[in-house]
Structure 1
Amino acid sequence: MGKRKELKDNDVQMGGTDPRVDSDESDEDMDIVNVDFEWFDPQPIDFHGLKILLRQLFESDAQLFDMSAVADMILAQPLLGSTVKVDGNESDPYAFLTVLNLQEHKEKPVIKDLIAYLQRKASANSSLAPLAQLLSQTPVPPIGLILTERLINMPPEVVPPMYTMLMEEIAWAVQDKEPYTFSHYLLLSKTYEEVESKLDMEDSRPQKKKKKSGGKAEKFYFHPEDEVLEKHARCFGSIEYTHTHDDGHSDSKRAFQELGIRTKGSLMLFDADKLDGAINEMKEYVKASV
């Protein structure tokens, strides 16, 4: 059984709105339900919960990969990475963060698929040229692929402790001569753009405001901390998913009253010695935003 992680004095252990409460419902006249979050090592009981969060992270392209194999890899390194739970050790994780060594696992089919996918996507965006070059090397450099996801209304305060513990665990693993000495870190995440609702386009009611066409669409972050982390990245950029949804899909993900959203993948490449500074600034940002 995984050991419950102990938070350090400078970490935050907090209550928050229950992430199981639907965001639409929580906006109405409902009582706030305070919950306590607990951090744990990844353990076998988390297999299905991790798969759900991984599919959420990879969005429509999750079908391209063996997510069971990815979950197994996360569970195979139980002393590296964290899950966040609400109802104790036996419950499903509501958030997780871990890192996988792309070089160490380069011969595993799912990592081969991931490297090819990431290299292809990076090559399609000039902003990600340094990443495309790294991933095209043979063998691929020791890049640590950071995977992290959480339920949509989990508070960002759960994130800094996970990063703090991950960096400590990597340092301990390196001391023990384990293969976690990275040249770079690659963070996979998601962003979205607001798009005009197809339903509203078909609605002739004059009071509906139309989104102005032209110009570059504004980027929004599913993970608010990504906006800070980007500032420390060697390169970053958006990627288009291979499997795209039809035009009506954005209406099923309407984040605001009049606009739908279109999701994109996000990649951030960090030099290994820059990630600590990025995490420290991210901690201050999250603390200030509470």
Structure 2
Amino acid sequence: MGKKRTRPADADPAVDKLDADADSSSDDDMEIINVDFELFNYDATIDFHGVKSLLRQLFDADASLLDLSGLADAVVDQNTIGSTCKVDDKANDAYAFLTVLNASAAPTDGPVAKLASYLAERARSSDDRALAEAAPALLSGSGEGGPVVGLVLAERLLNMPAEVIPPMWGCLMDEVEAAVEDGEAYGFTHYVVVSRGYYEVASALDGPKVKRAREAPGPGVLRYFHPEDEEVRKHAAAAGTYAFVKEDEVNADSKRAFQEMGLKSVGFMMVIEAAAFKGAVDAMRAFVGSVV
């Protein structure tokens, strides 16, 4: 990709000392732990396995349908676009990652093109009509003069603090702008953001009497693994959920995690026009700042 692009010194490359503390009636039982989260450019010699693991989490039940190794290679090879978020040292595994891949310029037999085909097929199955029409048209389009689509992939460990997320997106915007100025192929007209959500469902682990008292909900309320998605979708031209191809192979109780209900995971996708992307990131910053 040519010379590695480094972040300018006045950029915000790290989130300084996020205090992870909890209220307690006894100060003797609790202590404040300061953790330094830092953002790093990708390093192919370090980040492949960590990114691949997070990609497996992002694509959930359908991870086995995709070339995760090829996708991880595509992510880490773009060492000036996107970030990993780590603690203590660059050599550690990523706690979070964010990147954008050019779906319109990807080789037709490569992992990015196969991911685009998968997403187009899944979008067609969405109950959201706008997404079912817009995403396949963008992801299947090609040719000079047509839309240039960036696939935004982001995932993090579930206990990551939300404060680290806006700086990662801010860096991504700056890096894409710098890449365009350098004549690189990042002049996107649209972004397709890939994420996940879930619905609460009745647990199969409860006894019959408990299950009758706690009936399975109807379609339910969509909840987001990435809470900022709820704000970002307000700036999307289309957004909606889709079922995983292999959802029947995953037990909802395996994701129950200290709550009464099981979790049914779904894919979540947003189409954002390039002109609206900065507004979406600004709204994300404001949203995260209001809830932390």
Confirm or deny a common fold (TM above 0.5).
yes
For 1:203 and 1:62, locate their aligned partners in 2 and report how far apart those are by CA, in whole Å.
33
Shift of 1:10: 11
Shift of 1:81: 0.5
Match of 1:232 among 225, 230, 235: 235
Query: What is residue 35 of structure 1 aligned with on the other side?
Result: 35
Query: What is residue 24 of structure 2 aligned with on the other side?
Result: none
* Contact 2:13 2:39 (8 Å CA) reproduced: no
Trace 1:17-32 onto structure 2 (pairs within 5 A).
17=20, 31=31
Trace 1:1-290 onto structure 2 (pairs within 5 A).
8=11, 12-17=15-20, 31=31, 33-44=33-44, 45-125=46-126, 126-128=129-131, 129-139=133-143, 141-200=147-206, 202-205=207-210, 209-211=213-215, 213-214=217-218, 216-246=219-249, 249-290=251-292
For 1:10 and 1:83, locate their aligned partners in 2 and report how far apart those are by CA, in whole Å.
11
For 2:114 and 2:17, locate their aligned partners in 1 and report how far apart those are by CA, in whole Å.
38
For 1:71 and 1:95, locate their aligned partners in 2 and report how far apart those are by CA, in whole Å.
13
* Contact 2:15 2:36 (8 Å CA) reproduced: no
Q: Which amino acid aligns with 1:8?
A: A
Shift of 1:5: 7.9
Shift of 1:118: 1.1
User: Which stretch shifts more, 112-121 or 79-88?
Assistant: 112-121
Shift of 1:123: 1.3
For 1:41 and 1:9, locate their aligned partners in 2 and report how far apart those are by CA, in whole Å.
13
User: What is the aligned-residue RMSD (CA, Å)?
Assistant: 2.5
SS across alignment from 1:198 = coil
SS across alignment from 1:169 = helix
Shift of 1:153: 0.5
1:89-148 per-position Cα deviation (integer Å, ceiling 9, x unaligned):
111110010100001114242122112111111111223111122223344731000001
* Contact 1:135 1:141 (8 Å CA) reproduced: no
For 1:251 and 1:81, locate their aligned partners in 2 and report how far apart those are by CA, in whole Å.
34
SS across alignment from 2:226 = coil
* Contact 2:100 2:153 (8 Å CA) reproduced: yes
Shift of 1:223: 0.4
SS across alignment from 2:187 = coil
Kindly tell me: are residues 213 and 107 of structure 1, through their superposed partners in 2, closer, same or farther at Cα, counting changes over 3 Å? Answer: closer
Moved over 6 A (4+): 1-5
Normalising to structure 2: TM-score of the pair?
0.87
Q: Which amino acid aligns with 2:259?
A: Q
Query: What is residue 23 of structure 1 aligned with on the other side?
Result: none
Count of aligned pairs between the two proteins:
276
1:18-75 per-position Cα deviation (integer Å, ceiling 9, x unaligned):
9xxxxxxxxxx76553311011001120111010001000111111111111111112
Normalising to structure 1: TM-score of the pair?
0.87
Shift of 1:213: 4.1
For 2:226 and 2:67, locate their aligned partners in 1 and report how far apart those are by CA, in whole Å.
24
Shift of 1:209: 4.5
Identity of aligned residues (%): 43
Shift of 1:4: 8.2
Kindly tell me: are residues 31 and 63 of structure 1, through their superposed partners in 2, closer, same or farther at Cα, counting changes over 3 Å? Answer: farther
* Contact 2:75 2:101 (8 Å CA) reproduced: yes
For 1:97 and 1:176, locate their aligned partners in 2 and report how far apart those are by CA, in whole Å.
21
* Contact 1:81 1:162 (8 Å CA) reproduced: yes
For 1:188 and 1:271, locate their aligned partners in 2 and report how far apart those are by CA, in whole Å.
14
